[in-house]
Amino acid sequence: MNSVALLTVFAVSCLLQGAPCSGDEKTSSVALEVGDKAPAFEAAAEDGKLWKSAEHVGRKVIVVYFYPADMTGGCTKQACAFRDDLGQLKGKGVEVVGVSGDSVENHQLFRRAHNLNFTLLADTDGKVAEAFGVPISRGEKKVQVTIDGEEHLLVRNVTSRRWTFIIDRTGKIAAKNTMVQAAEDSQAVARIVDLLSER
């Protein structure tokens, strides 16, 4: 089976296994598939600066991973795995971008607590998730955390599902995973990027 077929099987199996949305989730009318052009998007990064996809897509392979919330169990495992594997991914020409409904301030705390070394985007209105077709729920959610001995209350109003996309250098969706295993996502991405390089 060639690399294109493998990527297609990966994407289709993920779509078929996708869990149904809960009642409070909103599904987008967008249904991106492998081979579709990735949407242009922008959002504030953890440093407060505007991150624009147009300035990054085409230069590297871009991994855009959506996750529910900063400082929660699965999301922390996923982020720390990307942190630990970032050198390997950069060596393959990959840039990693995490996206959640958390604020810039929440992202700053998340990065500080876990020494994260890649961009986090604050999709506080859910527009980036909607552009990719990622289901979201609206409503205030709170996470109480202790960082360096200080208590912090992280509040967000948008929560997205855990989906991962890979955008190739032509700006197209090369892979889509709607059944992400949080702690294993970075290695799954690395394997797919290796397949892309074989095309």
Residues with a known catalytic role = 75
Beta strands in 2-149 (DSSP E): 25-26, 42-45, 50-52, 61-66, 94-100, 119-122, 136-147
- Using the 8-state DSSP alphabet, how is residue 23 labeled? T
Which residues face 70 on adjacent strands? none
Between the CA of residue 177 and those of 75, 78, 106, 109, 168, what are the distances in Å? 15, 14, 25, 27, 15
Q: Residue type for 103, please? A: S
